[in-house]
Structure 1
Amino acid sequence: MQSQILNFVRISLFTLLQPALLNRMLLRKITHHSSKSVYSQYSTMPKKSKTSKSNPKPTLPETPSGPVTKSKDGGIAIAIHAKPGAKQNAITDVSDEAVGVAIAAPPTDGEANAELLRYLSKVLELKKSEISLDKGSKSREKIIKVTASVSQEDILEKLRREAAG
């Protein structure tokens, strides 16, 4: 009877401890195998990707940076920093960011925008229908769109000439 009790205790302990023992054995196998794979994975240097600097893509010639740029629809965009309420119309400066334009009209009811378009059409020697306000109707930072067939360089040259006086 004593042997039966001992066998029962052994079997009971084995069934109770079996999941823990199995888990421990599995963990040993997993860590043993994973440590091998980690070691073998980094035993050599990783390969560089194909997008290295040794083979750069050819770049297109950049358009001249500055206030006059090509727009997506094929026209020309001019960045303007408007200064309404001046005594007379004038181009104050031509920087890399924008063309500073003093406008002799108050900034109410679109009067300054209309005067800006009239003045720029005169300076650029374009028809009023070939120039329009694209963005910034209520802001000092404006984008003027030119639809005439003129080059960026011509527009920039005329603006600089007017700024010089």
Structure 2
Amino acid sequence: MSKKAKSKSTQKEKEVVTKEEEGPITLNKSKNIIISVLAKPGAKQNAITGINSDGVGVQINAPPSEGEANTELVKYMASVLGLRKSDVTLDRGFKSRNKVLKIQGSITLEEVRRKLLNEIQNT
């Protein structure tokens, strides 16, 4: 294997490791917090079920029709994080269970992680 081929494969491995370490809660280029969410609409109550490399599992007490679950998800996440509803927006995944939330406002990445973990422990 040539030196160029080795350096390319090593560079790709580093990129993969970096993405896995970031997890579902990251910062974008605009310094907004981005949360990957695995939504489960139609649940009995709103709850965060877990955090893994795929996303933050969130049960939503609203049907997945006419955007009701999306609205409830934004409202619930804003209350969990102690933010206004206008600080939390659904960025992607309007018709999918895999959603991306964008968080603006005065909260840090560590505070978001801590509040989400605290919510899991309280349920």
TM above 0.5, one fold? yes
2:114 corresponds to 1:114: no
**More RCO (CA 8 Å, sep 6+):** 2
Greater strand content: 2
In structure 2, the partner of 1:73 is 30
4+ aligned runs moved over 6 Å, structure 1: none
2:39 corresponds to 1:87: no
- How many corresponding residue pairs? 112
RMSD over aligned Cα, in angstroms? 2.4
Percent pairwise identity: 47
Q: How does 1:128-139 map to 2 (within 5 A)?
A: 128-139=85-96
User: Following the alignment from structure 1 to structure 2, what is the Cα–Cα distance between the partners of residues 148 and 66?
Assistant: 21
Shift of 1:66: 1.1
Which runs of 5 or more residues in structure 1 are unaligned? 1-47, 53-58
Shift of 1:72: 2.0
**Larger radius of gyration, structure 1 or 2?**
1
Which runs of 5 or more residues in structure 2 are unaligned? 8-13
Shift of 1:136: 0.2
User: Following the alignment from structure 2 to structure 1, what is the Cα–Cα distance between the partners of residues 80 and 107?
Assistant: 13
Amino acid of the residue matched to residue 104 of structure 2?
A: T
Instruction: Give CA-to-partner distance per residue, 1:50-93, whole Å, 9 cap, x none.
Output: x97xxxxxx9xx68511100112220100000000000000011
In structure 1, the partner of 2:114 is 157
Q: TM-score, normalised by structure 2?
A: 0.82
Q: TM-score, normalised by structure 1?
A: 0.62
Q: How does 1:30-45 map to 2 (within 5 A)?
A: none
Shift of 1:94: 0.9
Shift of 1:97: 1.9
SS across alignment from 1:115 = helix
Instruction: Give CA-to-partner distance per residue, 1:18-64, whole Å, 9 cap, x none.
Output: xxxxxxxxxxxxxxxxxxxxxxxxxxxxxx67x97xxxxxx9xx685
